[in-house]
């Protein structure tokens, strides 16, 4: 599995997120109290761009229908606001390597 460089640790705002697109993927990097995690960058409901989501109480809020996802685990912390259009699932979380201040994932 190839390893892909996404960003520098210092590029990710503390208790915030950074969206990164590569040839192979669309990622959301979070830094919560210094801990880096990498998730799928599109909402599991209808592919809302999570890089535009607000961070609220340790979760990112999808800008489309308002589901929220925990920024340490990727778990859904609040479901879609409109109940008749399906549900969001937990975000995929990628294995992360940090080396010399650079963040890598396996795609």
Q: Residue 69 CB, nearest distance to ligand FES (Å)?
A: 9
45 sits near ligand FES (criterion: CB under 6 A): yes
Segment interacting with ligand FES (CB under 6 A) among 10-18, 57-65, 70-78, 94-102: 57-65
- Count CA atoms within 13 Å of residue 20 on its CB side: 22
41 sits near ligand FES (criterion: CB under 6 A): no
Please tell me whether residue 51 adopts helix, strand or coil conformation: helix
In the complex, the residues that contact ligand FES under the rule CB under 6 A are 43, 45-46, 48, 62, 64-67, 80, 88
């Amino acid at each position: 599995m190839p390893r892909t460089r996404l960003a520098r640790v210092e590029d990710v705002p503390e208790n915030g997120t950074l969206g990164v697109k590569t040839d192979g993927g669309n990622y959301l990097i979070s830094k919560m109290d210094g801990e880096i995690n990498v998730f799928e960058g599109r909402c599991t409901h209808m592919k809302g761009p999570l890089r535009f989501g607000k961070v609220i109480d340790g979760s990112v809020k999808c800008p489309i229908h308002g589901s929220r996802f925990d920024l340490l685990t990727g778990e859904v912390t609040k479901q879609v606001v409109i109940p008749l259009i399906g549900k969001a699932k937990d975000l995929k979380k990628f294995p992360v390597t940090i080396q010399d201040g650079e963040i890598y994932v396996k795609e």
